[in-house]
Structure 1
């Protein structure tokens, strides 16, 4: 039951992320930063893709992926269609990886130490949903402020 709830939240918010990226009137604005805004929507989108493909796809789903976190924040002007393609791929990766788990797996320690201490897989997956939601809100705010 918890796995299906996590999947529903990831799917909902990743689809909202795709909608946000699609809603920008100007594709160029996806990559704009201004005073007080340190990350563009495009870079936050790349960051979320890298984050989920690493921590869910690679670690839990054993999906081949090599993350370059620095590029998530330094690449610019990736076409919108490519961001959307990568988001679609991320949705599939998250779903496939979570389908390979059951609720009892959530009680196990997450295979990596990401923060300072061990944590359960369930705890870390909940963290990943809130991380996605946090950056989704930033992207929404970025779009409403700069894509006028």
Structure 2
């Protein structure tokens, strides 16, 4: 049951992430930041894709993904189409990986220590949904603040 709920949440928010990136009328503003906005929407998008590919795709999907977290924040000016393609790919990765996790496995210890101490798989996956939603909100605000006609 929790697996289906998580899939719905990840799909909902990843589809919304794609829509947010596609909604920028001025593509260059995806990479813009100013004053106290320290991350561009493009870099937050790369960060979310890297995060999900690492903590879901590599761990449960056995994708072999190797994360370069620094690049998620330093890479600039990828075309909008490349970002949306990465989002489409991670939607598939997340769904395939979640399909492999049983309800019993949800209660087991997550294989990596990500926080100060070990957590359950269920806790980690719920954390990842809130992390996605948090940055999705930032991207939405970034777009509405900067991408003015």
TM (normalized to structure 1)?
0.99
Matched position secondary structure for 1:18: helix
1:1-148 alignment runs, 5 A limit: 1-148=1-148
Deviations along 1:76-105, one digit per CA (max 9) or x if unpaired, are 000000001110000000000000111111
Q: Comparing 123-132 with 61-70, which one deviates more in the overlay?
A: 61-70
Q: Distance in 2 between matches of 1:125 and 1:47?
A: 16
Q: Distance in 1 between matches of 2:32 and 2:7?
A: 31
Q: How well do the aligned residues superpose, as a CA RMSD in angstroms? A: 0.4
Q: CA deviation at 1:60?
A: 1.5
Matched position secondary structure for 2:60: coil
How many residue pairs align between the two structures?
148
**Runs of 5+ consecutive residues of structure 2 not aligned to the other structure:** none
**Runs of 5+ consecutive residues of structure 1 not aligned to the other structure:** none
Q: Distance in 2 between matches of 1:6 and 1:53?
A: 15
Q: Distance in 1 between matches of 2:40 and 2:91?
A: 21
Q: Distance in 1 between matches of 2:115 and 2:2?
A: 23
Q: Which runs of 4+ in 1 moved over 2 A?
A: none
Matched position secondary structure for 1:59: helix
Q: Distance in 2 between matches of 1:20 and 1:63?
A: 26
